Chains A and B, each alone.
Chain A
Amino acid sequence: MGSPFRRLLPYVLRYRRQFLVGLTCVVITTAIQLLSPWVLKHAIDDLNAGITRGKLAQYAGMLLGIACVGAVFRYLMRQIIVSASRDIEYDMRNAFFARLQQMPLGYYQGRRTGDLMSRATNDLNAVRMMVGPAVMYSANTLLVFVVAIILMMSIDVRLTLVALLPLPLVSVSVKYFGSAIHQRFEAIQAQLSDLSAIVQEALAGVRVLRAYNQQEYEVTRFRAANEEYVRRNRVLIRLQGLFYPSMTLFLGFGSLLVLWLGSREVIRGRISLGEFVAFNAYLVMLSWPMIAFGWVTNILQRGMASWKRMLDVLDASPDISDAGVTDAGGAVQVTGAVEIRNLTFIYPGSQAPVLDDVSLRIAAGQTVALVGATGSGKSTLISLLPRLHEPPPGTVFLDGVDVREIPLATVRGAIGFVPQEPFLFSDTIAENIEFGVSKDHAAARDMDTPAAAAVARLDADVESFPKGYATVVGERGITLSGGQKQRTAISRALMVDPRILVLDDALSAVDTYTEEEILARLKGVMRQRTSILVSHRISTVRDADLIVVLDRGRIIERGTHAELVARGGGYADLEQKQLLEEELAKA
């Protein structure tokens, strides 16, 4: 099992005391479990020979006593080992989430949320089954197997060998059926995913299907896949239908031989009747390990496969980290001066540059606007500033230092970022606004929650809610309008007291009148700070100190509003177009 197995050890060894104690309990409980047929043997023999009432009471008491002691250890065994497996599950899930928190944006763009979640729940559960119940049962199984055979040998070696004659049959059939069932199972899973794909396709394309009256055809298509699914299941059922009964049959052959030959031994006086009964009892005990064996290996296989899937995430290396921090970077006090130097950016795995030789200098306290069509690279450019994506070395500077050399916490702490689609958490409005403020520093801030909300013109909205700032916003802020969400996100960004405020088209869902008010208030708050605005709207960017027009990754125009309009280029066209749109909206 090599490396994945070794990676499992630290998690398990942390609870080695529990496992040690728990396994000791397994040994004790198994030993005790094996005692009771032995008591039975003596009881039967004595009964056969004649016995006192007192002796009989003694045997009955022993049976009960053995069971009680065994029960205590059995209880401890489960409680200790399974609890330890829950502790391991807890540690692993925390480690998993901690790793996810370190992974950059790019990591999530290539993965489905559902897949990551399933690793943290379904796969983790399979791993837990492997380190908990499977360990417990395999220890128990192994002990019962070995000890029962030894005790049977002590009664009659020949009879033991006879009883075990069908054993090779059992292990051969476990092996054969095991792999055959596994194969069928995979074939069934494959067909199930085909079936799901058909449903997915038909539901996603429901309009086309209805328009062309293809519902019946789709049902036929689905029926065929559904029938194939049943057909594959039928093969599996035939195998399973044979497997379990044949196990019982083979084990039954053992009992048959023991009954047939063992009773002769009793008649010949080689073994006593009590020994004969005890022998049968051990044989019954043996049948469970045989069945458990297949079950445990199944859990182990699935557990290891799941553990590998978890390791995929646990071993992922965070590409964006503090690895490149220098002394100069560590000491930097961000004032808000930004410089982009000959930046060319290509997303990993892609060929075409999204940004092509972009250079831009923003002085501390300046307001700069980025304008351009969808896909021109505006959002990518600003995402490099807080290192959501990693810029190439020597291209993005804060206060003269390469951002890659400044600790992430310093960079991100200096930036108030409002993304295009603001993400709110299903918590109260107050919690969402105070999202970036750690509670112990809250008092030291110069802006409180209502003040931040007021700048973003959210205050009136919140006051109209019955619960005010304690209103819970629902999943992803579903109970708020688009504009309210954007304004909450702006308040959130202001609360961290940023040196640099970045608004990525953050007023798109706000009407122009409110937008103007927000911009005016922001101007007051941002007097000493740098602002970077990304927008499609001329009204948003009109008053910026510098407007930069991007087109297919390149800066094609830069200047103030008046300068750019006078130039009569792309910016001037955009302005005219928006005037027309305004006209249309009024029509």
Chain B
Amino acid sequence: MTSIHDEEVLGKAYDARLMRRLLTYLRPYRRQVAVALGAIIAASVLQLGQPWLMKIAIDRYIASGDLRGLDGVALAFLAILVGSFILEYVQTWTLQMTGQRIMFDMRMEIYRHLQRLDLRFYDRNPVGRLMTRVTSDVDVLNDLFTAGVVSIFGDVFTLAGIMIVLMVMDWRLALVAFSVLPLIVIVTQWFRRNVRESYRTVRTWIARINAFLQEHITGMPTVQLFRRERRSFARFAEINRTHRNANVESIFYYAVFYPAIEVIGALASALIIWFGGGWTMQGTMTLGSLVAFLQYSQRFFRPISDMSEKFNILQAAMASSERIFKLLDTPATVGAPAVTPTPHSGSGHIVFDHVWFAYDEPHSVLRDVSFEVKPGQRVGVVGATGAGKSTLINLLLRFYDVSRGRILIDGVDVRDMDPAALRGLFSLVLQDVHLFSGTIATNVRLGNAAISDEAMRRAASAVHADAFVSALPGGYDHPVAERGATLSVGQKQLLSFARALAFDPRILILDEATSSVDTDTELLIRDALHVLIQGRTTIAIAHRLSTIQDMDKILVLHKGQLRESGTHQELLAARGIYYTLYQLQYKDQERATA
């Protein structure tokens, strides 16, 4: 069993394997990426122009008092400003849009994959966690594309550009300025190492705080009943304190790093003044070059102090992508058949042939179940809770594959059929009706465009849903809230009948509702059921025996085995399990009417 701790596990800060895989998502957008890179490089070059212009202004025109020349410099400066503006816009636009496109692709890929994964997978993974993969994990990656990786490229170009310009202007002074680089490397390394460590510690303690809160909020009544408030608080304060101390420790590294980089920058300026000033006095260097040098060296240190932030982005992105890829790498075991299926043309003949099944080996839910449902036959399945009734449906629709034995439909093993073709044979009416947000119409026909408005209305009125739908404002276009919150249980039930009928299936599967509805609705539902069953092979799982008494055949499941089968009268006469179940129901009904 996994818990909240698992979500917080941190991977490596940089993982080449993950990064290579992430970069494959860039491939469809090579052109855009190239444009963005071009814009970044051009912008870095233009940025280098400003101090250069300052140098020219000082050395060439201010010294000689050349006003016309200054106008030229100003014009060039203006051109650089406008050029930078355009390039920066182009870069932001292409880069962020590409990021969005990639996120779009990734979300689609994850979502498609989720649609393919087995129900077994859903049994193990809570919906909330899967949603996180599609939403927040993908968003974290977006930061990587827009703020992380590519801007690092920009920074590298700027740094390289500055170094080249300095070398060209005056290689001696450039070497002087570069002499502080080893210091920067040392400080940065020290910072990176410690910050990674303390980031990790802080994340661990945040995870502990979350786990503690989660546990104590859900278990608060127990805490209060046993008067544990004071001691629980002491433990919480302890965790909270450790978290704070870990944070305070990491403040130290930041508090030292930023000023240290500034001091190194000042050291570079001081060296430039000392050596450069000396050379200026000797006349081997111009004053303008000196000023330009000072300005360039300031620009040199900015990208370096931005680094810490990008480092965190990188680390978070690695953790997210690892989770996403793990999901994408989960294989779907129920898939298309190995052999090409022949087109299906039967009439709905179902055979369960010595079927065994376990959700969780070795605890078999079905044991050696065999039965036959002939075309057009109506079969009821009864049994106590946990007898394995719903499992029959899950196997028939191939939500799961059988462990042993086989299920045949019109003589074909369901594993040799395309799942979509197989499921197209059935309409399923589930115990608790699942409605989607949309309208009444979209809930009846779902995404099936082949169902006309006319057919939809006919289906609805056949199952008595037309009356209440017409009374709703907007009729079939009446909006349905998430999970059908605004509709009554009975109305939802009728809508699900309409849905089943509109799909006009060969085989109908009913998992009967246990929820109680008022008597009028009950009568409507019962009547609608008759319409639905007419002329179709039907398998009905019944919790109330009254609904299946007139079925052609009743199967009694008990502890995973098929124990009895026959008509209502035959089974009662046998005085077996069905008889006992019947008596139990009878007691309930008696009590309900008492």
Query: How many interface residues does A have (CB within 8 Å)?
Result: 138
CA of A48 to CA of B281, assembled, Å:
9
Q: Which of B9-17, B220-228, B469-477, B537-545 contacts A (4 or more CB under 8 A)?
A: B220-228
User: B221's closest neighbor in chain A, by CB?
Assistant: A105
Nearest to B90 among chain A residues (CB) is A241
Interface size class of B (residues with CB under 8 A): 35 or more
Task: Kindly list chain B residues whose C-beta atoms are within 8 Å of the C-beta of A192.
Answer: 135
Question: How many Å lie between the Cα of A413 and that of B227 in the bound state?
Answer: 7
CB pair B130–A203 under 8 Å, yes or no, is yes
* B227 touches which of A36, A388, A436, A478 (Cβ 8 Å): A436
CB distance from A511 to the nearest CB of B (A): 15
User: Cα distance A260–B577 when bound, in Å?
Assistant: 101
* Interchain pairs with CB closer than 8 A, number: 366
Chain A residues, Cβ within 8 Å of B226 = 412, 435-436, 492, 496
Segment with Cβ contacts to B, from A67-75, A140-148, A456-464, A515-523: A67-75
Question: Could you tell me if A97 and B127 are in contact, using CB atoms closer than 8 angstroms?
Answer: no
Chain A 208-239: CB-based contact to B (< 8 A → 1; otherwise 0): 11111111111111110011011001100110
Closest to A383 in B: B221
- B556-582 CB mask vs A (1 if < 8 Å, else 0) is 001000010000000000001100110
Chain B contacts of A264 at CB under 8 A? Answer: 67, 70
The 8 Å CB contact of B263, one of A44, A67, A266, A570, is: A67
Bound state CA distance, A220 and B108, in angstroms?
10
Render B270-284 as a binary contact track against A, CB cut-off 8 A, 1 for contact: 110110011011000
CB neighbours (8 Å) of A196 from chain B are 131, 134-135
The answer to whether B108 touches A226, judged by C-beta atoms less than 8 angstroms apart, is: yes
A270 sits at the interface (CB 8 A): no
Contacting B at CB under 8 A, from A419-458, are: 419, 422-423, 425-426, 435-436, 438
In the complex, the answer to whether A211 meets B135 with C-beta atoms within 8 Å is: no
In the assembled complex, A312 has its CB within 8 A of some CB on chain B:
no
Q: Is the interface of B mostly helix, strand, loop or mixed?
A: helix
Query: What is the CA–CA distance of A221 and B442 in the complex, to the nearest angstrom?
Result: 12
Q: Is the CB of A570 within 8 A of B247?
A: no
Interface 0/1 of A115-139, CB less than 8 Å to B:
0110011000000000000000000
B40 to chain A, nearest CB (A): 13
A220 / chain B contacts, CB cutoff of 8 Å: 447
B73 contacts the other chain (Cβ, under 8 Å)? yes
User: How far does the Cβ of A266 sit from chain B's closest Cβ, in whole Å?
Assistant: 5
Give the chain A neighbours of B77 by CB distance below 8 A. 252, 255-256, 259-260
Residues of B within 8 A of A496 (CB): 226
CB neighbours of A211 from chain B (8 A): 397, 423, 426-428, 430
Please tell me if the beta carbons of B85 and A246 are within 8 angstroms of each other in the complex.
yes
Residue numbers in B under 8 Å from A388 (CB-CB): 221, 224-225
Judge whether A71 and B263 touch: CB under 8 Å: yes
Q: Which A residues lie within 8 Å of B222 (CB)?
A: 419, 422-423, 435
Pick from B27-35, B206-214, B308-316, B357-365 the stretch touching chain A: B206-214
Q: List 21 A-B contacts (CB under 8 A).
A: A47-B290, A61-B270, A67-B266, A67-B267, A75-B256, A86-B247, A97-B213, A100-B217, A196-B135, A215-B115, A217-B446, A217-B448, A218-B115, A230-B101, A234-B97, A246-B85, A253-B81, A415-B225, A417-B225, A584-B580, A584-B584
Q: A53-B278, A68-B263 are in contact. List 12 more A-B contacts (CB 8 A).
A: A44-B290, A47-B277, A56-B281, A63-B269, A201-B483, A207-B434, A208-B430, A211-B428, A212-B499, A260-B77, A264-B70, A570-B591
Q: What residues make up the interface of A, taking CB atoms closer than 8 Å to B?
A: 36, 40, 43-44, 47-48, 50-51, 53, 56-57, 59-61, 63-64, 66-68, 70-72, 74-75, 78-79, 82-83, 86-87, 89-90, 93-94, 97-98, 100-105, 108, 113, 116-117, 120-121, 192, 195-197, 199-223, 226-227, 229-230, 233-234, 237-238, 240-242, 244-246, 248-249, 252-253, 255-256, 259-260, 263-264, 266-267, 273, 276-277, 280, 284, 386, 388, 409, 412-413, 415, 417, 419, 422-423, 425-426, 435-436, 438, 474-476, 478, 492, 496, 570, 573, 576-577, 580-581, 583-584, 587
